[in-house]
Structures are given as structure tokens and as C-alpha cells.
A and B are shown apart, each in its own frame.
Chain A
Amino acid sequence: MSRGPAQFMPREKGAAPLDVMIGIMAFLAALALGASLLADRASLGWRAGLSNRLTVQILVPAHGDAPRELVRETAAALAVLRATPGIAHAAALSETEMQNLVEPWLGKGSLVAELPLPALIDAEVIPGAPVDLISLTARLKKVAPDSQLDDHSRWLARLKNLADTITWTAYAILILIAVATAASVTFATRAGLAAHHEMVSLLHQMGARAGFIARAFEQHFALSTFAASALGATVAALLFLTAGSLEVFGMEAVPFLPPIALKLREVAWFAAVPLAAALIAWITARLSVLAVVRKIY
């Protein structure tokens, strides 16, 4: 039998509407947290994959014998790249690699084979080596007029912006959910105080300190919030893990983007959701009760 102040709170039967609401909010908070973790990981992955790399694209020439001219320009561009100090490695992508690249957008089939695909050269820069991109572009244009040099800086900046936007949006959602949780618990605490006014008044009359009465409520709300939000966060975790297992079987949830499966250590962050929710409920309930009880003579 519990002997703490919480025992003075009557046991509610069944899930209270507040528990349902907090469970849903915890589910949404966990989704937002998962999204921010995925955005962080994707951003790191994209940057790791594209940093220290240059791509030279040679468009299909619009003049003369296009296929032959494409091969010539590609070979000339490769020679310029390999002769440039600071470039460790340069290689043209094979036809199969090119088809694999466009496959997610255009699918497999004869359509892709018939398309006049440009040539792509992937070059790796020695980390830290200074490569004069303006000069390199000029030299490439001289031998391969249809070439375009891309150091991915614009793409990387946009990816970083995208990842940052997702992360900050997730943080904003988390803050909104925290505020909503606090507001809900405040409302529920006040409703609880009104419903249990007789109990509060009696305890107060018998000499219970405001802190003792507050503990009865804060324990009740912190425990029920923890249970409800743990359920919500668990459902969200299962959702991410299920998405991961679908990807294992080749059913990619979102093509072109990094996998939405979270690793176990990332899912462990979800444990923070019920802990934070319980803490918010604890503090909110305490402050609400103290404010009300201290108004009683």
C-alpha cells in the first residue's frame, strides 16, 4: 500500500482523456525527434559523400557527330583533370552506372537506353589540397566546350539548409508539444483541484503543508503522464523500426532519401520523451497546486 502523498489522490479508472492526449502528443514528439535525428544523419551522409569531390558533366554536343564528339570531349576533360595538381583520381562513369543513377527517376527499360545521356566524370580531390576551380573550369572549357564543372558547394549548402530546416522545425514542434503538455497538465491539475476540492481543503485544514498537497498531485500527474507518453513514444519507435524492416525487404519508404530506419542507439533517444513529459507534468502540476493552495486561508 502506498504511503506517500499520492495515495490521497483517488485512483481513476480507465484512461483519462488527458492520458490519451498526452499519449498522442508524445507520439508526435517522438516523430519530430526521429525526423530531426534522420535529418542530422542524412545531412552528415550527404556531406561525407560529396565533400572533396568534383563532378564534370559533358552534355551531348549539339553539333557534328554527337556520340563521337562526346567521347572525345570526355577523354580530353579526363586528361585535364588528371594533370591538375590536387586531384587524386578522376574516372568517367560507365553506361551502367549512368543508368543506375537515373533509374530511380525514370525506371528501367528501353526509354533510358535510348536517351542521350551526358557523360559524367567523378574526380576526387586530395583533402586540403587547393584546387583553383576558375582556372580548371577555363581549361576544361578549352578542350571540352560542352563540359560543366560542379564542386557540389551549392548542392551541399542547399542540403545543409534542408537538413537544418528539418531539424529546427522538429525542435520547434518539440517545444510546441512541451508547451501544449504543460498547458494540458495545468488545465487537468486545476480540474483535479476543483474535483478534489473537498480533499484538498480537508488536508489543508488538518495541517498539511502546501508542498505535501502538491506532492499528491504532482506524483499522480507525473506517473500518469510518464505511462501515457511512454506508450506514445513506443508506438513511434515501433513505426520507425517497422519502416526499417520494410527497407530491409526492399520496400523503400521514401526513394532517393536516406533510409528512415533508426538505429537502436537513436531509438534510445525516444526514452527522453516520456522522461521530459513526466518532468514537465511534475513541475506544472506542482506550480499549479501551490498557486491554488496558497490562496486558501
Chain B
Amino acid sequence: MVRFENVGMRYGAGPEVLRGVTFSLDAGSFTFLTGLSGAGKTTLLKLIYVAEPPSRGLITLFGNDMATTRRRDFPAIRRRIGVVFQDFRLLEHLSAFDNVALPLRLAGRHEGDYEHDVEELLSWVGLGDRMHAKPATLSGGEQQRIAIARAVVARPDLLIADEPTGNVDAEIGARLIRLFAELNRLGTTVLIATHDRALIESTKAREMRLVDGRLVELRTAIRA
């Protein structure tokens, strides 16, 4: 599903943020990405969700070699990926409902088709009574839950989450992880970047760690 071969990344003439990164994510896998702040986690995620081109190396997404894939095919690839951004990136002028429904609308679905699903998902993340609220009126934790709901609502093939539990309490965090696990069980490949050791230890998932721009495999998935 995702394959990196000797990928390097630098911004402009700066130093390489990622060096010789090689790994693959199998379809239906659940992986944690860890590392200290500034280790390159967010950059690596950006390369996966097609926000930046690599400086070198080969990236293959869903069987597409991204170096040779036509730019006009990028939107279709991006729509297969759900992203929980670290800074949420909610549209301030849209309600919680409309923010969550965004991927479905971009996919060309009509409101009547997805209204119930969006409402149910918002209730599941504990925001059933805030679905018409604008992000500015919500707390950081509530905004994060909207960002997560938006990332999963279209049941993407690949879910990427950058510190998805950073602003929520332990109970909500556990609930969100159950949501990711449920999605994973339904076939979505999940990659979560986090500092939260408790979260990592609560699962038997694979862990990759970035150290000074290089990727180290810390733990392979433990089969139950």
C-alpha cells in the first residue's frame, strides 16, 4: 500500500530532514511512528499524504509510482487518504457537521446520502450536541475530535494521524484509539505519529521510530 525506498527530503538548500528512509506499510496494517520533536515525523507524513515531493528516492502509493504518476491523478490518490493534522486545519466558517462532511462532499456525495452517517460519527466522538457549532467556539479537544471524524468519515484506505490524542483526556483518547482500531479491522491501513507511550503500549501494533531523519524499526506487529 505504501512503499518508501531510500527516500530523502530537504527543504530548499537546508539539511536533509529525512535520510535514506525505506519502509513499507501493508494493506490493513496498524503502525505507530515515533520520534523526538524535530525528528522528521511530520515531514514523513507529508510525503505519504502527497503534500510534498521527496528530494530523492522512490515513493509508491496504492501501486502508483509517485514520480511517474500524472499530477491530474493526484486528487484521486489523496481522496483515498484520511489525514488528522496536528493543527487540525478545520475550516473556521463551516460548522462541525460541514467540516466532517467535507471529504464526502469532495467525493461528490449528496447531503441526503451522508447526513445520518456524519451525525452518527459526531455523536460517537462525543459531539452530537455540537454539530452546528463553529470551530472557534469549540475547545482544542473538541476540534481535534472533529478533525478525526473528518479523516475517517469517508472510510479511507489509508489513515494518517499526527498526534491525534494530544489534546484529549485519557478516556476520550482511548475511545479514539478504539475508533482507529475499528477502522483498521474494517480494512483501513492506519499510521499514527505520537509521543504517547501509553497509547503505543496499549496496542500490539508495529512501531517505527525516526532518529535524526533515519527510520528505525523498533517493534513489528505482535500477532495475537
Q: Compute how far the CA of A199 lies from the CA of B110 in the bound complex, rounded to whole angstroms.
A: 21
Chain B: CB-nearest residue to A211: B75
A207 touches B91 (CB 8 A): no
Interface residues on B, range: 20 to 34
On chain A, the residues within 8 Å of B198 by CB distance are: none
Q: Compute how far the CA of A8 lies from the CA of B49 in the bound complex, rounded to whole angstroms.
A: 22
On chain A, the residues within 8 Å of B71 by CB distance are: 294
* B219 interface residue (CB < 8 Å to A): no
Q: Compute how far the CA of A198 lies from the CA of B91 in the bound complex, rounded to whole angstroms.
A: 8
Q: Chain A's nearest CB lies how many Å from the CB of B191?
A: 16
Which single member of B75, B93, B94, B98 contacts A207 (CB below 8 Å)? B75
Chain A 204-241 near chain B by CB (<8 Å), digits 1 or 0: 01111100100000000000000000000000000000
* A154 interface residue (CB < 8 Å to B): no
Which single member of A10, A208, A294, A297 contacts B93 (CB below 8 Å)? A10
On chain A, the residues within 8 Å of B75 by CB distance are: 207-209
A203 touches B106 (CB 8 A): yes
B51 touches A212 (CB 8 A): no
B91 touches A212 (CB 8 A): no
A-to-B contact residues, CB < 8 Å: 3, 7-8, 10-11, 198-199, 202-203, 205-209, 212, 294, 297
On chain B, the residues within 8 Å of A297 by CB distance are: 50-53
B49 touches A207 (CB 8 A): no
With A3-B105, A11-B93, A297-B51 already in contact, the answer to whether A207 and B78 are too (CB < 8 A) is yes
On chain B, the residues within 8 Å of A202 by CB distance are: 89, 91
Q: Compute how far the CA of A206 lies from the CA of B83 in the bound complex, rounded to whole angstroms.
A: 8
On chain B, the residues within 8 Å of A203 by CB distance are: 102, 106
* B76 interface residue (CB < 8 Å to A): yes
On chain B, the residues within 8 Å of A205 by CB distance are: 49, 51, 78, 83
For chains A and B in complex, what number of residue pairs have CB atoms within 8 angstroms? 45
On chain A, the residues within 8 Å of B213 by CB distance are: none
Chain B: CB-nearest residue to A294: B71
* B164 interface residue (CB < 8 Å to A): no
A207 touches B53 (CB 8 A): no
Q: Compute how far the CA of A11 lies from the CA of B102 in the bound complex, rounded to whole angstroms.
A: 18
Interface positions of B from 68 to 118, Cβ below 8 Å from A: 71, 75-81, 83, 89, 91-94, 98, 102-103, 105-107, 110-111
28 contacts between A and B (CB under 8 A): A3-B105, A3-B110, A3-B111, A7-B94, A7-B98, A8-B91, A8-B94, A202-B89, A202-B91, A203-B102, A205-B49, A205-B78, A206-B78, A206-B79, A206-B83, A206-B106, A207-B75, A207-B77, A207-B79, A207-B80, A207-B81, A207-B103, A207-B106, A208-B106, A209-B75, A294-B71, A297-B52, A297-B53
Chain B 128-146 near chain A by CB (<8 Å), digits 1 or 0: 0000000000000000000
Chain B: CB-nearest residue to A199: B91
With A297-B51, A297-B52 already in contact, the answer to whether A207 and B76 are too (CB < 8 A) is yes
Q: Chain A's nearest CB lies how many Å from the CB of B134?
A: 11
Q: Compute how far the CA of A158 lies from the CA of B63 in the bound complex, rounded to whole angstroms.
A: 76
Query: Which 10 residue pairs of A and B lie closest in terms of their CB atoms, listed nearest first?
Result: A207-B79, A207-B78, A10-B93, A207-B75, A209-B75, A208-B106, A202-B89, A206-B106, A199-B91, A297-B53
On chain A, the residues within 8 Å of B79 by CB distance are: 206-207
